[in-house]
Amino acid sequence: MEAVWAVFGIGAALTVVLFGYVAWRDRKRTTSADDSAAGRTSAAEADRQAAARHAAQGAVRDQDRLTGHQ
């Protein structure tokens, strides 16, 4: 029975050490204010492009309606 507890203890210790190492290694990978600003800028640009496409399609539809094309 002591061997079973020893195996569990070693496994638990390795798990704690591994978790600590991964947390220590990833501490530099946290997001920064620059990442957040870049995301907002990208989303705004995507919205502007979608609006431009929508407006262009509306202009084509208006022109088709005026000329009688469908």
Closest CA to 46 of 56, 34, 35, 54: 54
For residue 37, tell me if it sits in a domain: no
Look at residue 66 and tell me whether its pLDDT is greater than 70: no
For residue 57, tell me if it sits in a domain: yes
For residue 33, tell me if it sits in a domain: no
Nearest-angstrom CA–CA distance, 22 and 29: 11
| pLDDT per residue as tens digits for the range 5-20 | 999 999 999 999 999 9
Q: What is residue 20's predicted lDDT score, i.e. its pLDDT?
A: 94
For residue 32, tell me if it sits in a domain: no
Percent of the chain topping pLDDT 70: 73
Q: How confident is the model at residue 39 (pLDDT cuts 50, 70, 90)?
A: confident
Domain hosting 53: range is 2-27+43-67
For residue 47, tell me if it sits in a domain: yes
> Cβ neighbours of residue 70 under 8 Å, at least 6 residues apart?
64
Total number of domains in the chain: 1
As a whole number, mean pLDDT of residues 25-31 equals 73
